[in-house]
Amino acid sequence: MNILAVVSGGDAPGINAALFHLSRLVESNDDVLYGASGGFLGLLNEQIVELSPTLLMPTIGSGGSYLPSSREPVLNGVSRRAKIKSILEKYAIDGIVLFGGDGTMRHVLPIVSVMAVPCIGIPTTIDNDVPGTDETLGFDSACNYAISAIDGILATAYGLPGRGFVVETLGGRSGILALQIAQAVGAHAVLLPEYDFDEQWLVDRLRQALDKFQHALLVYGEGIASSRTLIDTLHSNHHLRLRDTRLGHAQRGSRPSYRDRWLANEMMDLVYQAFADGIQYGVVVIHDGRLRLSETDIAHLPPKMPDRNRYERINDLHSS
């Protein structure tokens, strides 16, 4: 078999480990693993490299992606799709393994129908917002990175009491990442793009925490409407002085955790077996801790939302 790996959209920790495991499976079965360098744009420009375990071994402990990704919406044009189809034919590609988030997973089915090549999607994003799966590759590492950073913040909060801290996580328009992190670190308040909040409520909540614990911790997802002005507003309107930390892209490029490396391995076992069995289409999903190949088209699933109950519990909204 000739298998092609494509990474599209935001990279995530665990991609390198997955590429390594797949390359090892491929090599031991005398197959070939190619990679598109630069996502679908790289594929369109025939930037294709051959991948091997020797090449990839040094990368398994790194975040990012050995195969550069791209956010270019290349597959929208008819002539571009035709060109990609001819490149896939030239390299005699028997299957595409596609890494990416929600938007990328929507291309899996069209690739199979338009390019006539089997395609398996690997939901890969630190945001964990791909519908139809409990967990995406990269999410666990991004949570661990944030937890470790916030542990440091809390250490200094105890060391020099009386201050309020605010931490912004990545996550785009989804608050799932911020919510899970807030729960894990015992934040006093969490703000998410999906749920509105009242400014005075937030001020009271942070002041109560300061009184009771001698520090206050707010975690919010970068997609909240007021993310760029929140700290200044709380200071100027309410004289609440807060120290802020933006985890930014250091979070996305963080080291892959044990769980993400394990997931990467299990996912690639499934993918390789699926191609060997002649399966045409699927997305690797996780439900209740079990991995399987799903044929559900995620384009038809509702958006994944952060758990409202958990949000209300952290913010103590049930009792207010």
- Closer Cβ to ligand F6P, 88 or 167, answer by number: 167
Q: Contact between 252 and ligand F6P (CB under 6 A)?
A: yes
- Minimum distance, C-beta of residue 8 to ligand F6P, in the bound complex (Å): 10
| Three-class SS state of 306 | coil
- Minimum distance, C-beta of residue 127 to ligand F6P, in the bound complex (Å): 5
Q: What strands, in cross-sheet order, belong to the sheet with 215-221? A: 189-191, 215-221, 163-169, 242-246
Residue with tokens 């990279």: 11
Q: Which stretch binds ligand F6P (CB under 6 A): 30-38, 46-54, 122-130, 312-320?
A: 122-130
Tokens of 25: 């499976």
Nearest to ligand F6P by Cβ — which residue? 10
What dihedral angle (degrees, nearest 10) is formed by the CA atoms of 262, 104, 108, 145?
10
- Minimum distance, C-beta of residue 288 to ligand F6P, in the bound complex (Å): 25
List Cβ neighbours of 316 (8 Å cut-off, separation of 6 or more): 205
Q: Contact between 10 and ligand F6P (CB under 6 A)?
A: yes
Catalytic residue among 11, 31, 102, 127: 127
Angstrom CA distances, 285 to 39, 105, 133, 136, stand at: 22, 11, 5, 8
**Per-residue x/- marks for ligand F6P, 204-233, CB under 6 A?**
------------------x-----------
Strand-pair partners of 49: 35
Q: Which stretch binds ligand F6P (CB under 6 A): 75-83, 119-127, 240-248, 260-268?
A: 119-127
- Closer Cβ to ligand F6P, 25 or 178, answer by number: 178
- Give the H/E segment covering residue 89: helix 78-90
Asked if 23 and 52 touch (Cβ cutoff 8 Å), the reply is yes
Length in residues, the chain: 320
Q: Report 149-178 residues binding ligand F6P (CB under 6 A).
A: 170-172
- Closer Cβ to ligand F6P, 23 or 125, answer by number: 125
Spatial separation of the C-alpha atoms in residues 251 and 257, rounded to whole Å: 12
- Minimum distance, C-beta of residue 94 to ligand F6P, in the bound complex (Å): 29
Q: Which of 31, 127, 140, 168 binds ligand F6P (CB under 6 A)?
A: 127
Q: Which stretch binds ligand F6P (CB under 6 A): 55-63, 125-133, 160-168, 298-306?
A: 125-133
Residue by residue, DSSP assigns 152-177 as HHHHHHHHS-SEEEEEEE--TT--HH
- Minimum distance, C-beta of residue 289 to ligand F6P, in the bound complex (Å): 24
- Closer Cβ to ligand F6P, 93 or 142, answer by number: 142
Compute the radius of gyration of the chain from its Cα atoms: 22
Q: Which of 26, 56, 120, 126 binds ligand F6P (CB under 6 A)?
A: 126
- Closer Cβ to ligand F6P, 71 or 163, answer by number: 71
Phi/psi-derived region of residue 299, left when phi > 0, alpha when psi is between -120 and 50, beta in every other case? alpha
Q: Contact between 125 and ligand F6P (CB under 6 A)?
A: yes
Strand-pair partners of 7: 99
- Closer Cβ to ligand F6P, 215 or 252, answer by number: 252
Tokens of 291: 């991995």
- Residue 196 annotated among the catalytic residues of the structure: no
- Phi, then psi, of 150 in degrees rounded to 5: -70, -30
- Minimum distance, C-beta of residue 142 to ligand F6P, in the bound complex (Å): 8
Asked if 238 and 203 touch (Cβ cutoff 8 Å), the reply is yes
Residues near ligand F6P (CB under 6 A) are 9-10, 101, 125-127, 170-172, 222, 252
Catalytic annotation, residues: 127
